[in-house]
């Protein structure tokens, strides 16, 4: 994590945001004291079962004939505890 002054953060805000979007983190200091961290937000995810529960509670959506097969193939290749979190 790179330390920068508040003045530098203000002057280069757009450039710093560009770098934060790529995963870089900055510790901003004012008068020699740490005041904040500029970093990407934490990723919140959902398990497959949570996504399915949300879908069941919504108005029906019509998907193409191959969707269910594709979804079942993905679920079959992953162990129940190893399935990735899915972003909302």
pTM: 0.50
Query: How would you write the pLDDT of the chain (88 residues) with one tens digit per residue?
Result: 999 999 999 999 999 999 998 889 999 999 999 999 999 888 777 777 777 777 777 777 677 878 878 888 877 776 655 555 565 4
- Where do the domains of the chain lie? 2-38, 48-77
Dihedral of the alpha carbons of 47, 52, 57, 60, in degrees to the nearest 10? 150
Range 2-38 classified under CATH 3.40.50: no
CA-based torsion, 60, 48, 87, 63: positive or negative: negative
| Cα 37 from Cα 13, distance rounded (Å) | 13
- The predicted pLDDT at position 6 comes to 96
């Amino acid at each position: 994590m790179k330390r920068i002054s508040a003045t530098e953060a203000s002057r280069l805000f757009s450039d710093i945001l560009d770098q934060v979007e790529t995963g870089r983190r900055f510790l901003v200091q004012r008068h020699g004291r740490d005041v904040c961290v500029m970093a990407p937000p934490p990723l919140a995810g959902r398990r497959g079962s949570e996504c399915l529960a949300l879908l069941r509670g919504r108005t029906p959506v019509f998907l193409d004939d191959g969707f269910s097969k594709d979804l079942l193939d993905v679920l079959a290749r992953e162990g129940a505890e190893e399935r990735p979190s899915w972003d909302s």
